[in-house]
Amino acid sequence: MTLKTRQELILRAVVEEYIASGAPVGSRRLSEQCGLGAAPSTIRNDLAELEELGLLAHPHTSAGRVPTDDGYRHYVDSIVAERRSHAVRPPLEVDHARTEIDEALDETAEALSRVTELLAVVSSPAVTTSSVRHVEVLALQPRTVMVVVITTSGQVTKRVFTLGAPVDEGLAEFARVYLNERLTGAHLGTRVVRAAFTSPELGPRERAFLEVLRPAFEVQGPADVEGLHMGGTSRLLENLSREGSTQLNDLLEVLEQRYELLSVISGALREDGLYLRIGHELATPSLQACSLVAANYGVANRNLGTVSVLGPTRMDYQHVIAAVRSSADELSAYLEDIW
């Protein structure tokens, strides 16, 4: 949608004034405080045109206007096109988390939530986007064995299995050597991995032992493929409550179950660049009072996961976009460092 230069300025002023105050914005206020260089009567005409275009709404009988979802979308697209970037650096402290990426993701979500005062969601690298780097098979107790799988994205998974008979340490060592030889470089959930457990080279005893360990190498469902690390649920609910949202219970259920939220976040992983969904652009009804700002992180030109913020449509988009991009860059640099 192409607007006249003054209309672009007026729309931006309305959005930013409304974000700051939460009150409908009138022509007199725009004329006196926003430096538009136009009389209130001229601004009123432009406000009416912007309303006809569906970018502004006229609540109740107030003389002021508020942005619609389409108005927010036009505003956000314009600031993204201008590539405005504030140096917002969430205080990430991931040095202590060099051994396991999940700690870094938790830290990122909490830091990003503190910076934006909204809900931050960071998705773990999808298991199928990375390959096996190393496998350990450890006999912990006479009948207990632990399998540790380290992927090329830095993800570490651990599974403990209890056997019906004492663990043969020689058999555990065979499994460690065999699995590293067959699976290093292979993607979990693929035919290569399945073939390693059914190879005709295996004897009955080795095959039976590996069959016990096999679940550690299987992708079992969406929740296992891409975990979500969340910070600031209470901050989001407080913001929406102040905005007068009537769907807080439904939203809380979505956040607790996570499946629908996972689906929304997964959509961002398939796109390059910044990913934005505003109000009714989100398919889930209970999320339509919100906007989602997301950016991918990864290594070697490969997206591994997503950093995102969910907040009310009346959010400070410039601040949130800068914070999300900065956090995604921090995670990418962290992964490159431990690759």
175 with 311, same domain: the answer is no
Neighbours of 54 (CB within 10 A): 13
239 with 329, same domain: the answer is yes
**Final residue of a structural domain among 186, 208, 223:** 223
Confidence of residue 321 (pLDDT cuts 50, 70, 90): very high
In 3D, which of 220, 230, 268 has the Cα closest to residue 110? Answer: 230
140 with 278, same domain: the answer is no
Confidence of residue 194 (pLDDT cuts 50, 70, 90): confident
What is the per-residue DSSP string for 273-299? Answer: S-EEEEGGGSSSGGGTTEEEEEEEEEE
| Residue bearing the bigger pLDDT, 293 or 156 | 293
Is pLDDT at 21 greater than 70 in this prediction?
Answer: yes
User: What's the whole-number mean pLDDT along residues 4-23?
Assistant: 91
Is pLDDT at 323 greater than 90 in this prediction?
Answer: yes
Is pLDDT at 135 greater than 80 in this prediction?
Answer: yes
118 with 134, same domain: the answer is no
In 3D, which of 159, 152, 157, 150 has the Cα closest to residue 304? Answer: 152
135 with 116, same domain: the answer is no
Annotate 8-66 with three-state secondary structure.
Answer: HHHHHHHHHHHHHHCCCECHHHHHHHCCCCCCHHHHHHHHHHHHHCCCEECCCCCCCEE
Residue range 3-13, pLDDT digits in tens: 888 899 999 99
**Final residue of a structural domain among 223, 256, 272:** 223
108 with 134, same domain: the answer is no
In 3D, which of 160, 168, 161 has the Cα closest to residue 142? Answer: 168
User: What's the whole-number mean pLDDT along residues 297-302?
Assistant: 78
Q: Give residue 127's pLDDT.
A: 57
Does 308 fall in a domain?
yes
Residue range 222-277, pLDDT digits in tens: 344 357 889 999 999 998 988 888 788 888 888 887 777 877 887 787 777 899 99
**What does the DSSP 8-state code read for residue 249?**
H
Two structure tokens written together for 23: 């009150």
Does 114 fall in a domain?
yes
157 with 120, same domain: the answer is no
Domain range enclosing 260: 95-126+226-338
Does 88 fall in a domain?
no
Inter-axis angle of helices 5-21 and 40-52, nearest 10: 90
Does 86 fall in a domain?
no
User: What's the whole-number mean pLDDT along residues 155-174?
Assistant: 86
Is pLDDT at 216 greater than 70 in this prediction?
Answer: yes
User: What's the whole-number mean pLDDT along residues 298-319?
Assistant: 88
- What is the domain-level CATH number for residue 118? 3.30.450.40
Is pLDDT at 176 greater than 90 in this prediction?
Answer: yes
171 with 296, same domain: the answer is no
Is pLDDT at 123 greater than 60 in this prediction?
Answer: yes
Is pLDDT at 128 greater than 60 in this prediction?
Answer: no
38 with 163, same domain: the answer is no
Q: How many domains does the chain have?
A: 3
User: What's the whole-number mean pLDDT along residues 107-132?
Assistant: 85
What mean pLDDT, rounded, does the chain reach? 83
Please tell me the least confidently modeled range out of 41-55, 205-219, 314-328. 205-219
Please tell me the least confidently modeled range out of 52-56, 108-112, 285-289, 322-326. 285-289
Does 49 fall in a domain?
yes
213 with 284, same domain: the answer is no
**Final residue of a structural domain among 184, 204, 223:** 223
- What is the domain-level CATH number for residue 201? 3.30.390.60
Q: Give residue 180's pLDDT.
A: 95
